[in-house]
Amino acid sequence: MALLNILTEGEETLRKTCRPVEKVTERIRTLLDDMYETMLHAEGVGLAGPQVGVLRRVVVIECPGSGRIDLVDPVIIRTEGSQVGREGCLSIPEKCGIVERPMKVTVQALDRNGKPFELTGEELLARALCHEIDHLDGILYPDKAQRMLTEEELEELE
């Protein structure tokens, strides 16, 4: 496994729409493994293909209690409720915003072996699923933020 470079705000790739994965190959599995290692090293809870310069619809997530989740070609099929909370991003370091997301989200995707599955996440996992799937369509959380936190607010949180 290898650590990948995480692109930051201003990089064109972050604003592009990703292509579907035609077939889950060993190369895709290696990408997922490298993304997972990169996400853990950066102390994040999710990472999407475009954040590491790969315009493919792949995502890795690990929230407290969720274990590792690999998603290939994920699609949100159902949402319920609403939550408003703080959100950050490995591609937008040292910033946070207040974003409204669904409280519960159901996603259809392929696993790392190309098998279809459904996953339902609530609270932080629902937020992470929406956030990472947005990345696949070139959407960054500030696009949806009610407001960005000031430096003073960020300092208070630390």
d(CA 126, CA 97): 17
Phi, then psi, of 50 in degrees rounded to 5:
-65, -20
Q: In a 10 Å sphere around its CB, with 0-12 CB exposed, 13-18 middle and 19+ buried, how is residue 5 labelled?
A: exposed
Catalytic residue chosen out of the listed positions 132, 151, 155, 156:
132
- Identify whether 132 is a catalytic site residue: yes
What is the β-pairing status of strands 116-122 and 104-110? antiparallel
Q: Look up residue 137 and give its DSSP letter.
A: T
Which residues are part of the catalytic machinery? 132
